[in-house]
Structure 1
Amino acid sequence: MLAAARKDLLLARLRRDGRIVAKKIALELGLSEDSIRRDLRGLEAAGLAVRVYGGALPASPAVADYATRTSVAPESKRDVAAAAAALIEPGATVILDGGTTTLAVVEALPRMLECTIITHSPTVAGSLLEHAADVFLIGGRLFKHSAVACGAAAVEAANTISADLFLLGVTGVHPAAGLTTGDPDEAAMKRALASRAAETYVLASAEKIGTASRYTVVPFDAVAGIVTDGEPDDATLRELTAAGVRLISADARR
């Protein structure tokens, strides 16, 4: 089998099964595991897969730069944002993560809602200028890829706050890889923020379901639920439901 044909087959298996086991597919194709691993390295270099021990998982499309992400699945993000905004009660203290879905949460919030919002995203903070909410901005080194503060100073500041709710953005939601993102410092910052909230809800538009990035944020049992517009019969969502993960439907049709 030619390399191009193997690549197409591996991508098809990733889409169908949500993962590839190198040993299994090598036996199926009559190839060495080294050949399959080389193919997987090529897929990872192309941003199409994330290699893990023994194989690979589908790569998340949400690791693109910030400007590109603003045009990815805008309707899906608006649906997720509207459902997430409904979790914020008057008088609550809420931590908002950075990202384009969180910006959509701000758009969905009633402007006269009185609450306290803490964020490490200057973009999110700026979008709240016309809202009644009190806004606290966490500073630190600006991670330009996601337009958020990260690093030691930001984590130290995060450890001084306390909140009722954290709306967490991730780039991948996968039963095997968990809740993931594409940068280790950003993952550490998200963990710090999650540790300061009584409840954490994940914002997961459909394109993130069944995909993975390199760095784990928190395990599924550390979150109160996942807000998603993914289809109920999606294999990943069925697996998460069976594992006891709470899913909050953001699809207005359901």
Structure 2
Amino acid sequence: MKVTNRREAMLKAVLSGMNDVGALCEHFGMSEATVRRDLRALADERLIVRTYGGAAASVGVHEPEESLDLRRESFREQKDAIAQAAVSHVQDGDTIFLDGGTTTAAMARLLTGRRDIRVVTNNLLAVGLLASSEVPVTLIGGDLRPSSMSTLGPLAQIALNRLSVDKAFLGADGVVAGRGLCEATAEQAYLKECIIRQAANVFVLVTSHKLDRASQQHWTPLERDWTLVTDAQPGAPELATFLVRGEVTIETASQQAHETQRT
């Protein structure tokens, strides 16, 4: 195996949670010296962090957040396809949570004709879409975050601790297998943690460019069964680290199917 291919495979293994040198040696059938040399090279590239006896996923670097207007326009067809796939999981009688973000807002747009569901949300974009429909909506209060038009903070956390939902649909700035969701602020990350605790089922809706992407420095752990809904196609390299995680169910949204249904 070429060195570049071997190190790419080792990076994916570390990101998936295989952090011990001994486990990596056994998994790849390589000597300890070779594994340590590869880990050192990956750490020099700031892709991982060396630890005693192994390595861990890098915390990533803070990337500037895109503006709300830019996020509304970017990856629109992919987000619509993901929203369509996510809506198929909403059944009559469900109480669901819609997280902040433009993909969950696209999902709200598809729910406006429903009657026998309830939506709980901190997403003001979703509220605007559902306000004139017959869908009962519970808006979680708190501090307004203008860059995402969502609410967060202590009041939102208190409200969430007083209710439960059948299904929670979450967005993220990035999602890393074995680590969780990354967000720009600690308040966003903790609010998602509150949502996950109160939900019977958790769905994470992200476009493929956010997979294995540690673009921010605040994390929401995913330490339970959950479903990833993404536009990445089956067999795509960015899904590799998720496929080895037993707690993750992967659902790939079909953009073509969405466009057919839309027409």
TM score, norm. by length of structure 2 = 0.73
Distance 1:106 1:26, change over 3 A: closer
Count residues with an aligned counterpart. 223
Q: Hey, what does 1:188 align to over in structure 2? A: 190
| 1:117-168 Cα deviation digits (max 9, x unpaired) | 0001222111102322100101001122222111111101111111111001
From 248, 251, 254, give the equivalent of 1:251. Answer: 254
Structure 1 residue runs without a partner (length 5+): 1-12, 41-50
Alignment RMSD: 3.2
* 8 A contact 1:202–1:223 mirrored in 2: no
Distance 1:206 1:58, change over 3 A: farther
Q: Shift of residue 87 of structure 1?
A: 0.8
Larger mean CA deviation between 210-219 and 79-88 belongs to: 210-219
* 8 A contact 2:92–2:117 mirrored in 1: yes
Q: Shift of residue 103 of structure 1?
A: 0.7
* 8 A contact 1:117–1:134 mirrored in 2: yes
Distance 1:100 1:28, change over 3 A: closer
Q: Which amino acid aligns with 1:69?
A: R
Q: Hey, what does 1:166 align to over in structure 2? A: 168
Structure 1 residue 216 corresponds to structure 2 residue 245: no
Q: Hey, what does 2:98 align to over in structure 1? A: 96
Structure 2: distance between partners of 1:62 and 1:208: 14
* 8 A contact 2:59–2:217 mirrored in 1: no
* 8 A contact 2:84–2:107 mirrored in 1: yes
From 135, 139, 155, give the equivalent of 1:133. Answer: 135
Q: Hey, what does 2:79 align to over in structure 1? A: 77
Structure 1: distance between partners of 2:101 and 2:130: 14
TM score, norm. by length of structure 1 = 0.75
Q: Which amino acid aligns with 2:236?
A: D
Alignment of 1:23-172 (within 5 A): 36=44, 53-54=49-50, 56=58, 63-109=65-111, 111-172=113-174
* 8 A contact 2:99–2:170 mirrored in 1: yes
Distance 1:110 1:145, change over 3 A: closer
* 8 A contact 2:112–2:130 mirrored in 1: no
Distance 1:128 1:60, change over 3 A: farther
* 8 A contact 1:73–1:207 mirrored in 2: no
Structure 2: distance between partners of 1:99 and 1:218: 19
Identity %: 26
